Amino acid sequence: MKKIRWGTLVAYIVLAIFAIITVFPFVYMILGGLMSFRETTTIPPTLIPKHFEWSNYAKVFAQAPFARYFLNTFITASVTTIVSLFNALLGAFAMVNLKFKGKGVVQVVLLSLLMVPGEAIIFTNYNTIARIGLLNTYIGLVLPFLTSIFYMYYLQSYFGSISQTIYKAAMIDGASDWEYIWRILVPMSKGGLFTVALLSFISGWNSFLWPLLVTNEDSMRLLNNGLTSFASDAGSETQLQLAAATLTVLPILILYFIFRKRIIRGVVRNDLKG
Amino acid sequence: MNDDKFVEVKNLKKVYDNGHEAIKDVSFSVKKGDLVCLLGPSGCGKTTILNMLAGLLNPTSGDILFDSKSVVNVAPKDRQIGYVFQNYALYPHMTVLQNVMFPLTVGKQKMPKDKAKEIAEKYMETTQITELADQKPGNLSGGQQQRVAIARALVQQPKILLMDEPLSNLDARLRLKIREEIRNLVKKVGITTLFVTHDQEEALSIGDKIILFNNGVIQQDDMGQNFYLEPNNYFVANFVGNPVIDNFKVNVKDGKITGSDFEINVDDLDKSRFKRDLTNGEYTLSVRPENILPAETGHVSAKIDDVELIGRERILKFTHDGVQARSLVDLETPIKRGDNVNLKMRLDRVFLFTKEGERVY
Amino acid sequence: MRSNQKKAWLFLAPTIIFVTFFSIYPILRAFVMSFQSGPLINLNWTGFSNYQYIFSDPEFWRAIRNTILYALISVPVALAISIMLAWFIFSKVKHKSFFETTFFMPYVTSTIAIGIVFRYIFNGEYGMLNFLLRALHLPAPNWIDDPSMSLTTIIIFGVWTSLAFNIVILMGALRNIDPNYYTIADMYGATGTERFWRITMPQLVPTIAFLLTMNIIAAFKIYTSVYALFNGQAGVGNSATTAVFYIYNKFQIVGTPGVAMAATVILFLIIMFVTFLQRKMMKKIGGR
Ligand SMILES: Nc1ncnc2c1ncn2[C@@H]1O[C@H](COP(=O)(O)OP(=O)(O)O)[C@@H](O)[C@H]1O
Ligand SMILES: [Mg+2]
């Protein structure tokens, strides 16, 4: 028989406890969303519902325009991701492969801006959007986020690891910058670009404060805002709130489980650069 | 048209942004169809020159002419050059065929896919990589990548081929084989080629002509054997030749050349080899190891520190006046380590350099 | 190739335009507005009165106090737990990627949604947490409705949410430690504890410093999790109000954007200061 290693045993127990603490809210959310109202508020609490109340979901969709929220969220998250990635791609290319006067200044300004907390500028940005009359519009929802210095910086470090001679070779082969970007740079950094897109999409999906500011019409709300207003409206109907929360989280969780390796690697690479 | 000066570089200078003067007033020319080696130690500015020829780098001043036309303001893609990079710079996400086709399928004069493929396949045949067509560069050996890089450089039918240390990433045996192949290929295609290397042997074996650089300055622009027989200066004499040349500190005074333990009459030297009058002062007397050999009576006597076998010959190593020196003898010579020998120089083959490195004899 | 390739500006144009309008301009404008009073459509100069106002506003001080307390407690606690868990995962178990995947889940999920879930777990009467505490004969406080518990509640939730990022970054750093160090330590017969304190910890210092500042900065910006836990409120009777809550309130609800911007400037300065400290610390540690 193998000797029991106490250290390993303790480690497994501690990890198991924290893993349960981490996962439990998700499990409770999904199960709670399938309970009857009584089950969510009994003492002692119920964990597994007697039978799954799928009708909760029908009620959620009936009581609030969740389909609309989904659509809005999907559109905003996709548009910000695609456009900001495109802008970051062009910008990072210029910073890595081109030589020009003022590059140093641009780099310093962008790096300083990277340290500016979003919360410090979000209210004045709201003001700007309000003044150009873009409240409750898709454009208003996405406009300030169509550029991401953060992702541009990320791509810069990604492109920087591609040998400079590849660009030189492409120049000699007669490729234009545009051809270089689309035929060489993009295919060579597919992985990095995809990871950035995932991360950007996830943070777009989870955005809260900005849409809270710039939308007040129900039809323009995003999922998280819809969810909070639903949580206030549905007040005591706990099971419906949990079902709605499940609706919000599940798509991202699925995305996460499919691409977990990429996402984690992307985050680690992202942030160690500081 | 001036085929003798198909490539002409005039007073070329390059000062990098950080103030480093990498190339200082360099001029040379290359004959059409020639294979010229740019030789020099690492960091002497070879890549810088090649990049300026390719248009990847702007000269600070000076002019570059291809076929008598200045190309300084011409974009790299319009200079009709092929470039083989030191690390090959193959596109890792494309197959060999796609790599070779790439130059034909981008830019203003891009051609239809099937025509590009036809041409690419022709050059892949020339460089013997036809069967690798569907491989990715990552799966190829160094030598194979090398050929792909050459095929890609040639596919646009450039007038000039630039190669930056193309063999430095290959192992020794392959290097010998490929350098033969490159020479044959280049001659077959008939393209004017500038070949950069830091390896003197490579330069001597492959180049129709060699231009030796140091510190951004041309040291000698000549046929291969002359670097050996008639070096321009102290640097050239020491850079070219294996084993390296022996150097002895000497003092010239009133017709006598005095070393630490030898003396030579200036009259014993070959008058016709003097570049200028020998004035009194300190000099370096240099002699190639095969021109300083054991003899009954010699100029120098020394104890042999070590004997090294190199193929058909042996190097006798000895210390003279605190500096290590060598004598190259044939295999049968019975001298062993620890023996005391007298060594005699062939005075018609020695060189005399001033302290500044200028050759006097 | 030109040494000044002006076309670069073409490629940078979208970035520069957006950054100018939505990053640089709002910073300047926030700064300017902090010296103005009145509603958004009719602002006029008032000098430092907004700053005077916030500094004498007990609400502001409560927000700052809460924010700082939250940062000072949740960040070290979360970091300590993260280091322990990361080290266990890295050194003790086989299913590394299973645990990594599990622990990272909160990072990708919406704080709002999971906050709502926590609201029920924390529920004083029928919540899971109190059920568990009662079963263990421990005190079962009213996490949500008792004002004196609000800060504790958001700290617990804060720790839960921030483990994810910490663990993943620490795992990255642990993987980067040259395994030869451990091989040599083993040769000299080092115990597991010695390996951890003598080899792992010193190597982790830069990462920990980095996480510390990232977490503190994030803690200063706390808003969403409070909003979710307390259903849009800052706890009962504003007991858990935070800096961003204060700003939002003054800006959107009370309608005094000048005051909000003065608070923003203060928050901004605090965060800049922490970032500055980080830079200095990283340099001292030897940086990367
Ligand atoms: N971009 C640059 N900026 C400043 N100095 C450079 C740059 N590129 C090369 N150098 C310097 O110029 C000299 C010549 O470089 P290079 O042409 O690459 O040498 P070689 O190819 O002969 O080894 C070296 O001293 C090198 O350090
Ligand atoms: Mg070089």
pLDDT band at A274 (very low <50, low <70, confident <90, very high): very low
Same domain for B233 and B348, yes or no, is no
Q: Nearest CA of chain B to the CA of C56: how many Å? A: 54
A19 pLDDT more than 90:
yes
For residue A170, the tally of other CB atoms under 10 A from its CB is: 27
Q: By CA distance, what is A236's nearest residue in C? A: C120
Query: Which residues of chain B lie closer than 8 angstroms to C7, CB-CB?
Result: none
- Cβ of C106 within 8 Å of Cβ of A106? The answer is no
Instruction: Tell me the count of A-B CB pairs closer than 8 A.
Output: 67
Bridge pairing between strands B81-84 and B160-164:
parallel
Which CATH number covers residue C45?
1.10.3720.10
Task: List, for chain C, all residue ranges whose pLDDT scores fall below the cut of 50.
Answer: 287-288
* CA nearest ligand 1 atom 24, residue: B43
Tell whether domain A64-233 is in CATH 2.150.10.10: no
* Domain span at C179: 29-286
Q: Which of B238, B257, B272 is a domain's end point?
A: B238
Which CATH number covers residue B249?
2.40.50.140
User: Subunits with at least 3 CB pairs below 8 A relative to chain B?
Assistant: A, C
Which pLDDT score is estimated for C118? 92
Q: Under a CB-based contact definition with an 8 Å cutoff, are residues B22 and B48 in contact?
A: yes
Residue type, A210: W
For every residue of A129-176, DSSP letters joined together read HHHTT-TTSHHHHHGGGS--HHHHHHHHHHHHTS-HHHHHHHHHTT--
Same domain for B216 and B315, yes or no, is no
Q: Which of B220, B238, B256 is a domain's end point?
A: B238
**CA–CA dist B195, C134 (Å, integer):** 83
- Cβ of C18 within 8 Å of Cβ of A274? The answer is no
Query: What does each C-alpha distance from B319 to B102, B328, C287 come to in angstroms?
Result: 58, 14, 49
pTM for this entry: 0.87
Which pLDDT score is estimated for C276? 84
pLDDT band at A2 (very low <50, low <70, confident <90, very high): low
Q: How far is the CA of A102 from the centre of ligand 2 (A)?
A: 28
Q: Nearest CA of chain B to the CA of A85: how many Å? A: 21
Tokens for A112? 């300083």
Same domain for B101 and B214, yes or no, is yes
Q: Assess if residue C10 is contained within a domain.
A: no
Quick: pLDDT tens for A207-238: 999 999 999 888 999 999 999 888 887 667 88
Q: By CA distance, what is B57's nearest residue in A? A: A168
Which pLDDT score is estimated for A23? 94
Same domain for B179 and B315, yes or no, is no
- Cβ of A252 within 8 Å of Cβ of C99? The answer is no
Q: What rounded mean pLDDT belongs to chain A?
A: 89
- Cβ of A188 within 8 Å of Cβ of B93? The answer is yes
Q: Assess if residue C20 is contained within a domain.
A: no
Q: Give the count of domains, chain B.
A: 2
**CA–CA dist B196, B212 (Å, integer):** 10
Same domain for B221 and B252, yes or no, is no
Q: Assess if residue B360 is contained within a domain.
A: no
**CA–CA dist A240, A113 (Å, integer):** 41
Atom of ligand 1 nearest to the CA of B50: 17
Q: By CA distance, what is B54's nearest residue in A? A: A172
Q: Assess if residue B359 is contained within a domain.
A: no
Between B349 and A120, whose confidence is greater? B349
Q: Assess if residue C137 is contained within a domain.
A: yes
- Cβ of C14 within 8 Å of Cβ of A205? The answer is no
- Cβ of A267 within 8 Å of Cβ of C169? The answer is yes
* Domain span at B71: 3-238
Same domain for B114 and B128, yes or no, is yes
| % of chain A beyond a pLDDT of 70 | 96
User: Phi and psi at residue B211, in whole multiples of 5°?
Assistant: -115, 115
Which pLDDT score is estimated for A1? 43
ipTM of the complex: 0.88
Same domain for B119 and B7, yes or no, is yes
Residue A273, C-beta contacts closer than 8 angstroms, at least 6 positions apart = A153, A154, A157
* Radius of gyration over every alpha carbon of chain B, rounded to an integer in angstroms: 24
Q: How far is the CA of B20 from the centre of ligand 1 (A)?
A: 8
Task: List, for chain B, all residue ranges whose pLDDT scores fall below the cut of 70.
Answer: 1
Map out the domains of chain A as residue ranges: 64-233
Pocket of ligand 1, candidates B44, B51, B195, B196: which has the most ligand atoms within 8 Å of its Cβ, to mutate? B44
Q: Give the count of domains, chain C.
A: 1
Same domain for B170 and B299, yes or no, is no
Between A139 and C145, whose confidence is greater? A139
Between B277 and A83, whose confidence is greater? A83
Q: Assess if residue C17 is contained within a domain.
A: no
Which pLDDT score is estimated for A38? 80
A273 pLDDT more than 70:
no
Query: What does each C-alpha distance from B199 to A64, A85, B187 come to in angstroms?
Result: 77, 46, 21
Q: How far is the CA of B196 from the centre of ligand 2 (A)?
A: 8
Query: Which residues of chain A lie closer than 8 angstroms to C169, CB-CB?
Result: 267-268, 271-272
Query: Which residues of chain B lie closer than 8 angstroms to C1, CB-CB?
Result: 55-58, 75-76
Q: Assess if residue B361 is contained within a domain.
A: no
